[in-house]
Chains A and B, each alone.
Chain A
Amino acid sequence: MSTEDKTPLVSVKDVHKVFDLGGHFLQKETPKVKAINDVSLNIAVGESFCLVGESGCGKSTLARTVMGLLKPSAGEIGYNGTRIDDLAHNERLPFHRNMQMIFQNPYASLNPRRSVQKTLEEPLRFHCPEMSNSAIKEKVEEVMVSVGNDPSWGARYPHEFSGGQRQRISIARALMVDPEFVVADEPISALDVSIQAQVLNVMMDAQEKRNLTYLFITHDLSVVEHFGSRVGVMYLGTLCELATTKTLFAKPRHPYTQVLLAAIPTLSCEEMTSTKSVGEVPSAMNLPTGCVFHNRCPFANERCKREVPRLRTLDDGAAVACHAVEEGRIES
Chain B
Amino acid sequence: MALIEVKNLCVEFPTRHATLKALRGVNFSIEKGERLGIVGESGAGKSLSAFAMLNLLSKPGRIAEGEILFEGQDLSKLNDDEMRSIRGNRISMIFQDPMMTLNPVLTIGTQMVETLQAHRKISKAAARLIAIDRLNEVRIPSAEERLESYPHELSGGMRQRVVIAIALLTEPVLIIADEPTTALDVTIQAEIMSLMLDLCKTHNVGLILITHDLAVVSQVTQKVIVMYAGRVVEQGATRAVIENPRHPYTRGLMAALPQQNTPGKRLFQIPGSMPTLDAMPDGCAFNPRCEHVGDDCRNKMPKLDSFEGHLVRCHKAEELQIKGEKS
List A residues at the B interface (Cβ < 8 Å).
Answer: 54-56, 162-165, 192-198, 200-201, 204-205, 219-223, 225-226, 245, 249, 259-260, 262-275, 277-278, 280-281
**A193 and B212 contact, CB distance less than 8 A:** yes
Give the size of the chain B interface in residues (CB under 8 angstroms): 50
* A197 with B268, Cβ < 8 A, contacts A219-B185, A266-B215, A269-B239 known: yes
Cβ of B293 within 8 Å of any chain A Cβ, yes or no, is no
Report whether A263 and B190 are in contact in the complex, using a CB–CB cutoff of 8 Å: yes
- The reply to whether B253 and A193 contact each other, CB–CB distance below 8 Å, is yes
Of A194, A226, A260, A269, the most chain B CB neighbours within 10 A belong to A194
CB <8 Å contact, A272 and B220: yes
Are the CB atoms of A193 and B257 closer together than 8 Å? Answer: yes
Question: SS class of chain B's interface: helix, strand, loop or mixed?
Answer: helix
Cα–Cα distance between A245 and B258 once the two chains are bound (Å): 14
Please tell me if the beta carbons of A267 and B187 are within 8 angstroms of each other in the complex: no
A203 nearest CB across to chain B (Å): 10
- In the complex, A259 Cα to B155 Cα: how many Å? 19
B-side contacts of A270, CB under 8 Å: 219
Chain B nearest CB from A87 CB (Å) reads 35
CB-CB contacts of B243-271 with A at 8 A, as 1s and 0s?
Answer: 10000000011101111110111111110
Are A269 and B238 within 8 A (Cβ)? yes
Measured CB to CB, the nearest residue on chain B to A225 is B263
Q: Are B263 and A272 in contact (CB under 8 A)?
A: no
Give 9 new A-B contacts, CB below 8 A, not counting A226-B261, A267-B215, A274-B198.
Answer: A192-B41, A219-B185, A226-B263, A226-B267, A265-B219, A266-B218, A271-B219, A273-B194, A280-B157
A272–B43 Cα gap in the complex (Å)? Answer: 28
Whole-angstrom distance between the Cβ of A184 and the nearest chain B Cβ? 15
Which 6 residue pairs are nearest across A and B when measured between Cβ atoms?
A265-B215, A197-B256, A197-B267, A272-B219, A263-B190, A197-B269
With A263-B189, A272-B197 in contact, is A194–B243 under 8 Å at CB? Answer: no
Report the bound CA distance from A257 to B279 in whole Å.
Answer: 46
B194 near A272 (CB under 8 angstroms)? yes
Q: How far does the Cβ of B224 sit from chain A's closest Cβ, in whole Å?
A: 10
Interface contact B273-A162, CB-CB below 8 Å:
yes
Contact B197 A201 (CB under 8 A): no
B156 & A55 in contact (Cβ 8 Å cutoff): yes
Q: Which residues of B contact A193 (CB under 8 A)?
A: 212-214, 253, 256-257
Which residues of chain B from 180 to 229 have any CB-CB distance to chain A below 8 Å in the complex? 185-191, 193-195, 197-198, 212-216, 218-220
Contact of A164 among B188, B261, B263, B273 (CB under 8 A): B273
Question: When the two chains form their complex, are residues B253 and A201 in contact, meaning their CB atoms are under 8 A apart?
Answer: no
> Nearest Cβ distance between residue B120 and chain A, in whole angstroms?
30
Q: Which residues of A contact B195 (CB under 8 A)?
A: 274
Residue B242 is within 8 A (CB to CB) of chain A in the complex? yes
CA of A270 to CA of B221 in the docked complex: distance in angstroms? 10
Query: B158 within 8 Å of A by Cβ?
Result: yes
Residues of the A chain whose Cβ atoms lie less than 8 Å from the Cβ of B266:
201, 204-205
Q: Is the CB of A260 within 8 A of B259?
A: no
A271 CA to B187 CA, complexed, in Å: 17
Q: Is the CB of B256 within 8 A of A277?
A: no
* Residues of B with C-beta under 8 A to A55: 156, 185
> Among residues 84 to 117 in chain B, which have CB atoms less than 8 Å away from a CB atom of chain A?
none
16 contacts between A and B (CB under 8 A): A162-B42, A162-B273, A195-B41, A196-B258, A200-B258, A219-B186, A222-B259, A259-B187, A266-B259, A267-B260, A268-B215, A270-B219, A272-B194, A274-B195, A274-B197, A275-B191
